[in-house]
């Protein structure tokens, strides 16, 4: 990995990357970065990339545990592009759940009622709710 410049990580799609606590790259995904930055400003106020990264890291990582934080929320209240844990990881999309499998997304299932374990951190969810639409690689799309 290149130290202190960027992280050379690649994900199935942007929704997976956001669930892992990352943001669009300002260098190689400039137009997505600009959309992200605008939605971030609406959700959290104007910030530069290092400030965003610090907030994202604090929201995603359990200190000293090398694992992601989870919280709970009402499934119906989550914006499209959010990952949850309902019998395994699943994407909230179009009022349904799209279970994640190593080869991509499975066919949609009904969105559960009530609260669910949420994998996408609340800082990122606020940016999505403020209008950022993550790129999602759904079959047939």
Q: What is the pLDDT of residue 9?
A: 67
pTM of the predicted protein model: 0.89
Q: What is the pLDDT of residue 27?
A: 87
DSSP sequence for the chain: --TTS------SSHHHHHHTT----TTTSHHHHHHHHHHHHHHH----HHHHHHHHHHHHBPTTT-SB--EEEEGGGSPTT-EEESSSEEEEETTEEEEEETTEEPPPEEPPSSEEEE-S-HHHHHHHHTT-------TT-
Q: What is the pLDDT of residue 65?
A: 81
Q: Which residues contact 24 (CB under 8 A, 6 or more apart)?
A: 14, 32, 33, 35, 36
Residue 86 near residue 116 (C-beta atoms within 8 A): yes
What pairing do the DSSP bridges indicate for beta strands 89-93 and 109-110?
A: unpaired
Query: How do the pLDDT tens digits run along the chain, 141 residues long?
Result: 456 666 666 788 999 999 999 999 888 899 999 999 999 999 999 999 999 999 999 998 888 887 888 999 999 999 999 999 999 999 999 999 999 998 899 999 999 999 999 999 999 999 999 999 999 998 765
CB atoms within 10 A of CB 132: 24
């Amino acid at each position: 990995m290149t130290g202190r410049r960027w992280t050379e990580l690649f994900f199935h799609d942007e929704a997976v990357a956001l669930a892992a606590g990352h943001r669009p790259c300002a260098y190689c995904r400039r137009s997505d970065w600009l959309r992200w930055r605008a939605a971030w400003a609406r959700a959290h106020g104007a910030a530069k990339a290092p400030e965003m990264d610090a907030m994202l890291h604090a929201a995603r990582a359990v200190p000293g545990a090398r694992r992601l934080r989870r919280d709970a929320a009402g499934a119906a209240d989550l914006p499209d592009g959010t990952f949850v844990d309902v019998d395994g990881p699943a994407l909230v999309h179009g009022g349904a759940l799209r279970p994640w499998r190593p080869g991509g997304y499975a066919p949609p299932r009904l969105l559960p009622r009530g609260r669910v374990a949420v994998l996408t951190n609340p800082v990122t969810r606020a940016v999505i709710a403020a209008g950022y639409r993550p790129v999602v690689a759904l079959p047939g799309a």
